[in-house]
Amino acid sequence: MKRALLITLLLWAFATTSITAESNDPSLGTWILNVAKSKLPGLPPKLFIQRYEMRPDGFIVGTRIAIGPDGSPHFEQAAMKHDGKDYEWWDNTSLSAFLSTGKRLPKKLSMKPVDAFTVEYTGKESGKATVTGRRIVSSDGKTMTLAGKSLIPSGEWIPFEAVFDKQ
């Protein structure tokens, strides 16, 4: 259950990239989870860092690392645009399976801009939604809040709210 919650946290957080492929994108940079301000199910990760960078071709590369409450590491990365299309994103499990077997089993992520600071996102596994929500960057660009719900293995949707501080 703890691993599922950590993976869920990482999945919805990955969906938090910005709205447009412009250099003034408020999500660009490094963010660290503020556990004290967050409302998360289960035990929080010991560490959660995410970084968003703009490539010259207009894709945003999102990279995140986390250390679970039990000390287990987790990694995710994707390159995407914010055009409503599904993009692949990889984690340590799907990437190691691909490297050892050649099978591509990434998750999918789509994002829809709401305004200059807000994006709605849906993460999918095997074509089925597993996380949905909104990402809002504060107008001063110092805080990013992710609010939504994630599907846990029992089939129940669990609400969350995670607050990140820009570094």
The full set of domain ranges for the chain reads 2-166
Q: What is the per-residue pLDDT for 105?
A: 83
Cβ 60 vs Cβ 81: under 8 Å: yes
Q: Which of 84, 77, 89 has the alpha carbon at shortest distance from 125?
A: 89
Q: Which residues contact 56 (CB under 8 A, 6 or more apart)?
A: none
Backbone φ and ψ of 148, nearest 5°:
180, -155
Please choose, from the candidates 142, 127, 132, the residue with its C-alpha nearest in 3D space to the C-alpha of residue 112.
132
pLDDT at 137: 96
Q: Is residue 146 classed as helix, strand or coil in its secondary structure?
A: strand
Please list the pLDDT of the chain residue by residue as tens digits (167 residues).
555 545 555 544 544 443 334 467 899 999 999 999 999 999 999 999 999 999 999 998 989 999 999 999 999 998 888 889 999 989 999 999 999 999 888 899 988 899 999 989 999 998 999 999 999 999 999 999 999 999 999 999 999 999 999 99
Q: How far apart are CA 58 and CA 16, in angstroms?
A: 16
Tokens of 77: 């990365």
Query: Looking at this protein, which amino acid is placed at residue 121?
Result: Y
- How far from each other are the two terminal CA atoms of the chain, in whole angstroms? 30
3-state secondary structure of 103: coil
Token pair, residue 4, equals 């599922």
Question: Of the candidates 112, 154, 115, which has an alpha carbon nearest to the alpha carbon of residue 133?
Answer: 112
CATH superfamily of 2-166: Calycin beta-barrel core domain (2.40.128.20)
Question: In angstroms, rounded to a whole number, what is the distance separating the alpha carbons of residues 43 and 86?
Answer: 30
